[in-house]
Structure 1
Amino acid sequence: MRPFFRRHLPGFCLALLTYCLGLGPVFAETRVALVIGNGAYASTAQLPNPSHDAEDVAASLKRSGFEVIQGIDLRQADMQDMTIRFARAASRADVAMFYYSGHAMQYNGVNYLMPVDATLTDEADLKRFVRVDDIINDLQQAKNLRILVLDSCRDNPLAETLKRSTTRAASVGRGLSKVEAPRGTIVSFSTQSGQTAADGVGRNSPYTAAFLKHIEQPQEIGDVFRDISSDVYDSSGKTQLPELSLSIIGKFYLNGPVSVTIAPGHPQAAPRADPCASAEAHWKAAETIGTVSAFEDHLTRFPGCSFASLAKARIEALKQKVALAPASNSRTGSSKDFDGNWDVMLNCPPSGKAQGYTRPLAGTVTNGVFHAEAQVRDGANRLEIDGQIPADGKTTLSARGTTGASAYTLNDLAPGSPYAFTIDAQFDRTRGSGKRNEARPCNLIFVKR
């Protein structure tokens, strides 16, 4: 028996017995959380809910065994002090969570959180803000599970000030930029990237109300956050859909379940097959494809599983997008007009800590079906782009691949990490242009040979 278990086995058995007898909860891991609510802003619109949100979330997490570092209406120096304390605590923790309610914004693809005393007259003032990338790096020190929650996609009037003060106004985006969850991490935004969320009229924002409703439930943590997303979507009249990115292996529980079954002398019945066992893998594939048919296929296969509500939401959003798209009379013809060989150039300028790059791809169109790929060695730094080009040339393409050198990735991902994004593109017979939708801003040029 290893020394650790010799030292701690008696206490562990007592704790387990206490739990099973219903005498109180047991938390085997070291759990830490930093909870911030900023609403009393000096130089922009004040928010009524964040102080209540932070108080209620902190109380909930304490009931789930977290050591909570809590801050309300923090100035720049206070936010820096608390994030430093959190970084040190996370390095000793098994589970770490960061929760923020308040103003935030994105600039040049980088997300920033705003202290209550911050001003924003030009780009240099962003140094007064807290970078979300730095918080993610602090979270990564926790051993098992890391959770980032941002209830902060509200309209920020200071963003308009920054737009007027810089020649790169296009880099000041609406809402927040999408963050892909690093391995072992859950990232949850109160609404989708590039969108803004409602403040709400009660004590808590709509997102935090759903968070408080579900976070203490004895369910697997991935299911908890999917239920939060579904709850917000339903309670908002299907106008606010949280952005959720999970990259976790195995099952994690903040509250239970623990069960002990003793049946000596009786053969154990064979466990029934779990109809949802493959739902998560299929959902990830459906999201990568991103089409109505892919989400409908997921609903058909897994109608009663965790992602069913999100699949319905994606289908409805895509159908609304098609219905609201203006009809194009600019050209007539068929999708076969685009058939042939195409040269593709992907250009991604520097974004945050990530270096910029330009990458050529070789493409073909056959019967209106587009496919392009980059030449790679040994399967590293792979990139493929696929999609269907309709007769009017307006389409959304799906890209997937694996990362190359870490210096070119937003979150310093290890080489070979999988990623995916979509591209809104417009083709004519011999040329085309496109724009990457998720994470960092990138542009594409298509030229027919």
Structure 2
Amino acid sequence: MRAFSGSRLAELCLVLLACWLCPGSALAETRVALVVGNGAYTSTAQLPNPSHDAEDVAASLKRSGFEVLQGINLRQAEMQDLTIRFARAASRADVAMFYYSGHAMQYNGVNYLMPIDAMLTDEADLKRFVRVDDIVNDLQQAKNLRILVLDSCRDNPLAETLKRSAGATRAASIGRGLSKVEAPRGTIVSFSTQSGQVAADGTGRNSPYTTAFLKHIEQPHEIGDVFRDISSDVYDSSGKTQLPELSLSIIGKFYLNGQVAMTVAPTAPQAAPQPDPCAAAEAHWKAAESIGNVSAFEDHLARFSSCSFANLAKARIEGLKQKTVLAPAADGARASGTKAFDGNYWDVTLNCPASGKAQGFTRALAATVTNGVFHAEGQNPGGSNRLEIDGQIPADGKTTLSARGTTGASAYTLNNLAPGSPYAFTIDAQFERSRGSGKRNEARACNLVFVKR
């Protein structure tokens, strides 16, 4: 047998390592994807792009080494069958992705995907839809990385039909667009636009979101950067009117199309590697998001102007400044009559029933109303489980309040979040003299009662 020199053996090892990392190698990680495009609806407006979106995304993912299950214009039974096949495939995969283009809606904080033959005369018909929560649970079976992509926040006429049949009380549970989904650990969640908003279907072959997805998904970049680039591209191409919702909870770096670089070690000593200027950008962005004001986003932009979140920081700053410009006019319109709700002692009771694995709870907060400005807060002695609720109550008493805080015990959170994790949501409320009621809009169905002492 021919003997190898030390240098030849080292070269052979590098070649074998490169082949092991190639997407098509037998030793490479297992990747599976379910790609669905529903547009030929029988009971509501048809969508021209989803079938093209699904075809193009499926082809792209195959080039990245995915085993792809593909469905176009699926009826209820077909959609259920394909999601069952995907659940089985995900259980043996290292990487799993679910991509959906078509109609969807939220009801009582739960997101539903719509087969093309679905009817929606009342809430019982929602059982014919596919729950996004079930898809998220299926994705969690994959070992390393899970990705949920929903290009489905188009305007859905069936949601209006359900509102009319639900009556005034329950119609409030039917939100606009989709409800936000917090990414479980090891997961990326990307919506075509922000929760509670409606996305454009587009006029070309693909929707604006899928156009950006196809542009970036095969790039040899870290997967978190890929989805941030997708979000920035959609925001810029839409004239800053459509900003995708993105939630990442991944540890480490993942590459769907990472390049393998092989170099010969130089004989001369190398200089010490320079620190990555963007290494702390993601952690700082999460902190800025939890604060949510202009100063926090401007600070992020000053520190990380060339990093992945820079464009999103600019978008947040612009949006907040626009609200500030419009606020005086709105305040002037509300000025008369808002003092009718003023009082230093309002009792607020927040009740969240059990949801999935999350335990239910009831929480009391103290609030004040001054010149129609509402503020409530509550905090544990240790500093965790903090909650603040703010907003303006107009003369008619109908308003949307903003809540922001940090989680307490993990058992009471939807995704088993660590204590002290930041969160935020909005509340649709109605005040009448010394009483009021409200409902949480995002993620979890909770009710609020306001009582003036």
> Which runs of structure 2 are paired with 1:25-424 in the superposition (5 Å)?
28-167=28-167, 168-325=170-327, 326-328=330-332, 330-331=334-335, 343-348=347-352, 356-361=360-365, 372-375=377-380, 382-386=384-388, 397-404=402-409, 406=411, 408-411=412-415, 413=416, 416=419, 418-423=421-426
Deviation at 1:321?
2.8
Of 37-46 and 160-169, more deviation after overlay is shown by 160-169
SS in 1 for 2:172: helix
8 Å CA contact 2:95, 2:146 repeated in 1: yes
**Structure 2: distance between partners of 1:175 and 1:261:** 50
8 Å CA contact 2:221, 2:258 repeated in 1: yes
SS in 2 for 1:171: coil
Structure 1: give runs of 5+ residues left out of the alignment: 1-9
**Structure 1: distance between partners of 2:181 and 2:351:** 20
Deviations 1:37-76 (A, max 9, x none): 0111111111110110000000000111111011111111
8 Å CA contact 2:31, 2:94 repeated in 1: yes
Taking structure 1 as reference, are residues 39 and 354 closer, same or farther at Cα in structure 2, changes over 3 Å only?
farther
Deviations 1:79-121 (A, max 9, x none): 1111111111111111100000001010111000011111111
**Structure 1: distance between partners of 2:389 and 2:172:** 27
**Count of residue pairs the alignment pairs up:** 432
Question: Could you tell me which amino acid in structure 1 is paired with residue 443 of structure 2?
Answer: A
8 Å CA contact 2:40, 2:116 repeated in 1: yes
> Which runs of structure 2 are paired with 1:409-448 in the superposition (5 Å)?
409-411=413-415, 413=416, 416=419, 418-423=421-426, 436=440, 438-444=442-448
SS in 1 for 2:331: coil
Of 157-166 and 424-433, more deviation after overlay is shown by 424-433
Taking structure 1 as reference, are residues 154 and 387 closer, same or farther at Cα in structure 2, changes over 3 Å only?
closer
Taking structure 1 as reference, are residues 283 and 434 closer, same or farther at Cα in structure 2, changes over 3 Å only?
farther
8 Å CA contact 2:346, 2:366 repeated in 1: yes
8 Å CA contact 2:23, 2:64 repeated in 1: no
**Structure 2: distance between partners of 1:119 and 1:308:** 43
**Structure 1: distance between partners of 2:134 and 2:33:** 15
8 Å CA contact 2:33, 2:96 repeated in 1: yes
SS in 2 for 1:147: strand
8 Å CA contact 1:385, 1:397 repeated in 2: no
2:7 alignment partner in structure 1:
none
Deviation at 1:320?
2.3
TM (normalized to structure 1)?
Answer: 0.84
Deviation at 1:275?
1.3
Taking structure 1 as reference, are residues 354 and 164 closer, same or farther at Cα in structure 2, changes over 3 Å only?
farther
Deviation at 1:229?
0.5
**Structure 1: distance between partners of 2:236 and 2:156:** 25
**Structure 1: distance between partners of 2:262 and 2:271:** 16
Deviation at 1:302?
0.9
8 Å CA contact 1:119, 1:125 repeated in 2: yes
Deviation at 1:254?
0.6
8 Å CA contact 2:403, 2:427 repeated in 1: no
8 Å CA contact 1:342, 1:363 repeated in 2: yes
Of 205-214 and 157-166, more deviation after overlay is shown by 157-166
Deviations 1:362-394 (A, max 9, x none): 57999x996733447x88xx4212478899999
1:5 alignment partner in structure 2:
none
8 Å CA contact 2:109, 2:441 repeated in 1: no
**Structure 2: distance between partners of 1:327 and 1:229:** 33
2:3 alignment partner in structure 1:
none
**Structure 1: distance between partners of 2:107 and 2:391:** 32
Deviations 1:324-353 (A, max 9, x none): 442335559xxxx99977644223356677
Taking structure 1 as reference, are residues 208 and 180 closer, same or farther at Cα in structure 2, changes over 3 Å only?
same
Deviations 1:163-204 (A, max 9, x none): 111131111111100100001100000011111111100000
Taking structure 1 as reference, are residues 261 and 392 closer, same or farther at Cα in structure 2, changes over 3 Å only?
farther
Deviations 1:2-37 (A, max 9, x none): xxxxxxxx99865434589xx987683111100000
8 Å CA contact 2:146, 2:187 repeated in 1: yes
8 Å CA contact 2:428, 2:441 repeated in 1: no
**Structure 2: distance between partners of 1:31 and 1:371:** 47
8 Å CA contact 1:93, 1:143 repeated in 2: yes
**Percent identity of the aligned residues?**
73
> Aligned-residue CA RMSD in angstroms?
3.7
Question: Could you tell me which amino acid in structure 2 is paired with residue 139 of structure 1?
Answer: L
Of 384-393 and 218-227, more deviation after overlay is shown by 384-393
**Structure 2: distance between partners of 1:279 and 1:415:** 21
SS in 1 for 2:277: coil
**Structure 2: distance between partners of 1:17 and 1:352:** 43
Question: Could you tell me which amino acid in structure 2 is paired with residue 420 of structure 1?
Answer: Y
